[in-house]
Chain A
């Protein structure tokens, strides 16, 4: 890590230049940053009259409260990683406030040409290899001011590159941690070459009293590649979380993407799956739990550019206290993408009369021969179920927990990684209080 101290002066031109000066990276990458910074300067923060932000109020967010990523002290402690518990890993990285502090890869994987490590390190050592993929259309820096800010100041995160035909059996793990007043602008890039296979578990943790994440994830799957990708958002309930996430699947690629959304004060995430090649298959699983005054907004897109692809999305959320979940889903089928099979569903379970969920499925179909279905439900915890469980000796809280875990079972049944199911189940279980109809 570079030791140069950046003068803390907010996200200004001066700070940007100082940030660049402290980094060693290919010139083309620096150029991407400059373009993004210019875009940032031209743009305004999203407003509530834009459809995408109509239900998500960010007027309390103040960028001035944060500084660009700063070097961290070597002794800083990392929070525990839920998804890595009891799992034999093939490699792991961890970052704290956007600075990579751990980067490990099993030498046998490295010998097969697998690249895995902190984003800066891989970019420095293998810039030419990454150039065609890095900061590509997924980041669409023009999307909004947050993505432009990320494009300019991204820092930390991880790169995974799996060469053609290589199968990585053991999961790899990426942790992004935040401390009080910290900023995480991490970027995760996964490049799966033809016929390769891997499992990548990513998670976030920490945040203290106030922190800010503005991140990006890009998953690029070449023909026949198979990836199981997990992103668990588990910040403290104080963190502002803005993320742009996209997967692009070439022909016959297969993706299982599981999102866990438990943390953050406010989250606004765009999760996009683009099926670019014939016969690709994406399964998207969402597990959300909110409490207190959390507001989590997840906007999902399943875009069928090529024919004969399958996309199957199931988001399930449980809401406690006065929290709110917004899910806005869209299946887009481009002209000519015949043989499309698209599915999207969102179910929410209300654990309080003061919680609120907005569930907005959408379809835009421009091809003729397609099968697209969507649906959403909102239900409450049924007192009769609680009484039944109580009559068998379960306490009210145990009954509530059991009913909630039963609610999530359908999505857990789809997740093929045991440790992920268990970690999500336990993390949710810890948060559930007993249900009272008030």
Chain B
């Protein structure tokens, strides 16, 4: 693929409204990411960042009530999550689930085959074992992972750091056009975040369009965002450059709330509603 073609891929989120359990969470999100760009999505807890990721990936519990998500000229909202993955979309989960009894290597061989050969039909051959193993070993070495790790069951008994590294490994193998990294830094110590940050940079930069959902700026050290977006109350209220991420990390969201009182009020209402639900 030539550089020019790489530049043309675009992920476009248009006026996206999403409800969870009948409650509106996203209230009109617009975002455009070109392949090769890194975007940071920041915002306080409960502002809708993870909801955006889940909705783009196609979780059935996240109901899109309005808007569209395009990869180039296809509206992916009409596709199942697996078709979206085959169009080049990837999400590193904040809390990936364990699949008991399924070895990471077997899982990933199946996934890699499907994503790299989007036209593959069920039951058709998987990638040749030898070729796949070789590549997997190389990628694991790059991520400083013990090759034995591939024999373990997917996410079962993984530590927080292992889970996040396994997510990055999957991203490296699947070579997506667009990757959403949902709090890939949460629950990790400083060294683990640095390693994750470096790995993402090595694997992803320039080849993918990346949306990094984060509270902190550690992950952004090696992945300086072309753009930083701030989400509040289910909308993106501000977009800036890397300096915005640094500002939020240093000073928090008070300035944002003050500048966007309507969104701040929405956020407060959602928070109270959430607290009320928990109390019940």
Contact = CB atoms under 8 A, between A and B. Distances in A.
Of the listed residues B99, B114, B170, the one surrounded by the most CB atoms of chain A closer than 10 A to its CB is B99
Contacts of B82: 390-391, 393-396, 399
Given A392-B170, A392-B174, A405 B102 contact: yes
Nearest to B118: A393
A392 B91 CA distance: 9
Interface string A356-395: 0000000000000000000000000011110111111111
A382 B154 CA distance: 15
Interface in B193-215: none
A403 B110 CA distance: 13
A403 B59 contact: no
A397 interface: yes
A398 interface: yes
Chain A interface residue number, banded: 20 to 34
B107 A389 contact: yes
Chain A contact residues: helix, strand, loop or mixed: helix
Interface in B79-121: 80-82, 84-86, 90-91, 93, 96-97, 99-102, 106-108, 110-112, 114-115
Interface string A396-438: 1111001101111110000000000000000000000000000
Contacts of A395: 80, 82, 114, 122
B153 interface: yes
Contacts of B85: 390-393
B97 A382 contact: yes
B107 A392 contact: yes
Contact of B80 (A388, A390, A407): A390
Nearest to B92: A391
A387 B100 contact: no
A407 B153 CA distance: 11
B60 A397 contact: no
Contact of A394 (B57, B97, B100, B111): B111
B101 to A, nearest CB: 3
Interface string A121-147: 000000000000000000000000000
A202 to B, nearest CB: 26
Nearest to B156: A406
A406 B57 contact: no
Given A382-B97, A389-B107, A393-B85, A406 B153 contact: yes
B160 interface: no
Contacts of B106: 402
Residue of A385, A387, A392, A407 with highest tally of chain B CB at under 10 A: A392
B36 interface: no
B110 A385 contact: no
Contacts of A389: 99, 107, 111
B225 interface: no
Interface string B211-255: 000000000000000000000000000000000000000000000
A388 B101 contact: no
A390 B122 CA distance: 13
Contact of B81 (A387, A397, A407): A387
Given A406-B102, A409-B101, A393 B115 contact: yes
Given A390-B85, A392-B174, A407-B101, A383 B80 contact: no
Nearest to A434: B122
B81 A390 contact: yes
A385 to B, nearest CB: 5
A396 B60 CA distance: 12
Contacts of A398: 110, 114, 122
Nearest to B59: A387
Given A390-B80, A391-B85, A392-B107, A403 B102 contact: yes
B58 interface: yes
B57 A392 contact: no
B99 A403 contact: yes
A177 B57 CA distance: 49
Interface in B110-165: 110-112, 114-115, 122, 153
Contacts of A384: 97
- Considering residues B58, B101, B107, which has the most beta carbons from chain A within 10 angstroms of its beta carbon? B101
User: Which 3 residue pairs spanning A and B have beta carbons closest together?
Assistant: A406-B101, A409-B101, A393-B114
Interface of A: 382-385, 387-399, 402-403, 405-410
Interface of B: 57-60, 80-82, 84-86, 90-91, 93, 96-97, 99-102, 106-108, 110-112, 114-115, 122, 153, 170, 174
